[in-house]
Structure 1
């Protein structure tokens, strides 16, 4: 009787527990707000004292013990990497010439069709997978605003459609994903699926309030001038994550290296 009772109890517990029940994935974690921050795109180095959040290029390892954001150039092609892309995924004008971001010598990616967006996203999503495997907590996809440099060949809706693809993938990997600049599309952040903002020179250009309206205090501000830093710190120094870096985001020891924060 006792053995039968045990069997019955076990059977009852099994019946109450679905065979396909799985453990829910943990929720993604946003960057801490009003935090010490360092923008290390020019090369990884030991973060200064007090830094809690670091952004590094996808090719670098994350900083141990900190919140790490993985930078990917999602909408344009890094110099020297053109051969890594199928030629038809590079945006070309009517004469067949590449459309280039002249400031950084980066060809733009062609986001004009669902098929091309899907193919480009497959490559970018592989980078996102690598960021997740390395231990990053968030993604910063750069050049969301590439459509503004596309000779009117790309549209904001195409940019948003592509960003939605990579945002969905990042979330599936339990990674937060940021909106880089492109303040004019900040109001669409929920539709696209963006969690925080990375705003370059919003103090310099009086745009920080627009990012705050869309993202609350989940805004990382990078300024490149002392006037921009002063403006950002005066208005949001007690709320946002703010840093000043040199334009080349160089490493300590470089003659151009500069890093400053709100006082």
Structure 2
């Protein structure tokens, strides 16, 4: 189970990428809108095809604006009474009565799940798998070709649909920025094409799709891949909150961490740049009752 990640981009630097990314083509209308209408399921066969419209073909429900969030990747527990949004790992159950977001690591292997992946789908350097320097038990997935993206999608799609079957309202996809750690072997286009395929599956399953971090690419990820909202870490600490709100408005959930606050929590709460939905968590995301547990709201 993955824990946490801060944005890997240095906040002062802003790099613009051309929107030449490949997108998934939807070959049929997707089914089961929240209004209850029936339609044929969308095709998710090729994660490298082009789509002219990234808008969801079903009506998905975005997180409630301004609701208090809790981020529980370290283990599920009963949220506090005022919490309206809960993020949990895909192997956990959604939080009953709360808007629930399912965590999926879509661009790197999860700890203890390397055996699920064909070695051909892992990025290698000199014959050795390329690991995330911040998370040495995670290996980068190879998004460099349409064929490999299709094979990655074939493994991840059941996880996404499993989130919907379990009763989650949305799904977030972590490590969209894996190409920045790939030693030049991956690029934004390959990751954007795969992200587009993930979003199409999520929408087909009736789930809203959340961008995870990657502030610089928020406009591209929303407009081209079709993300509906964002889950971000430490946007206040790294002065990135405005980059996200400019794209997603109040459809934004921020997690700050106790070990990296640039100023007092009360000052962050008073800052108009801070998203309305924000939580202060301990870095290990411990469960309630643990001596290190912190889950504070403004």
Using the size of structure 1 for normalisation, the TM-score is 0.87
Q: How does 1:45-60 map to 2 (within 5 A)?
A: 45-60=77-92
The equivalent residue for 1:218 is: 251
Give the whole-Å Cα distance in 1 for the aligned partners of 2:62 and 2:267: 25
The equivalent residue for 1:242 is: 278
Q: Select which of 98, 108, 130 maps to 2:129.
A: 98
- Contact 1:139-1:177 at 8 Å conserved across structures: yes
- Contact 2:218-2:244 at 8 Å conserved across structures: yes
CA deviation string 1:69-124 (max 9, x = no partner)? 0001111111111111111011111x111110121121010000001011101211
Query: Is 1:23–2:37 an aligned residue pair?
Result: yes
CA deviation string 1:125-160 (max 9, x = no partner)? 110010000000100111111111111211111111
Give the whole-Å Cα distance in 1 for the aligned partners of 2:193 and 2:211: 14
The equivalent residue for 1:9 is: none
- Contact 1:91-1:110 at 8 Å conserved across structures: yes
The equivalent residue for 1:173 is: 205
Higher relative contact order (CA 8 A, sep 6+): 2
Gaps of 5+ in 1: 1-21
The equivalent residue for 1:197 is: 230
The equivalent residue for 1:13 is: none
Q: Select which of 69, 86, 101 maps to 1:37.
A: 69
Number of aligned positions between the proteins: 240
CA shift, 1:234, in A, is: 2.6
- Contact 2:161-2:205 at 8 Å conserved across structures: yes
Query: Is 1:127–2:141 an aligned residue pair?
Result: no
Give the whole-Å Cα distance in 2 for the aligned partners of 1:169 and 1:245: 30
Give the whole-Å Cα distance in 2 for the aligned partners of 1:129 and 1:242: 27
Larger Rg: 1
Give the whole-Å Cα distance in 1 for the aligned partners of 2:251 and 2:133: 31
Give the whole-Å Cα distance in 2 for the aligned partners of 1:234 and 1:152: 41
Residue aligned with 1:227, SS: coil
- Contact 2:241-2:274 at 8 Å conserved across structures: no
Residue aligned with 1:178, SS: strand
CA shift, 1:232, in A, is: 4.4
Give the whole-Å Cα distance in 2 for the aligned partners of 1:71 and 1:232: 26
CA shift in 2, pair 1:258/1:88, >3 Å: same
CA shift, 1:49, in A, is: 1.3
Using the size of structure 2 for normalisation, the TM-score is 0.77
Aligned CA RMSD, in angstroms, stands at: 1.7
- Contact 1:208-1:232 at 8 Å conserved across structures: no
